[in-house]
Amino acid sequence: MTSQHKITVGISGRFPVFIEADAAAFGQVFADMADEEQVHVFRAMIEAMKAHQMQWDHISIALEQPENRDVRDTLRNVLFPTTEG
């Protein structure tokens, strides 16, 4: 059984590129990428966010909410594992 994920990309004169994807669709596309491609996506996200530094604060605040702490903890543990020794 295969699942279909829809990501819509629109280009118009008012906006350079508009991409519409639900979280599941984006997650599946991301999961299907090779590890180096995933790193490139993270790098592009960080570059794009440089103009919006305050958004990092909003993301941090959202990740501290009880309903989002599992996401924060998973990201921390997977991306930045602690080494005991």
pLDDT at 1: 43
Of the pLDDT bands very low, low, confident and very high (cuts 50, 70, 90), residue 58 is very high
Domain boundaries, the chain: 1-32, 35-80
What separation in angstroms does the CA of 49 have from each of 21, 42, 44, 59, 66? 19, 11, 9, 11, 25
pLDDT at residue 4 tops 70:
no
CA dist 66 and 74 (Å) reads 14
Is residue 80 within a helix (H) or strand (E), and if so which, with residue range? none
Residue pLDDT, tens place only, 5-47: 677 777 777 667 777 788 888 888 889 999 999 999 899 989 9
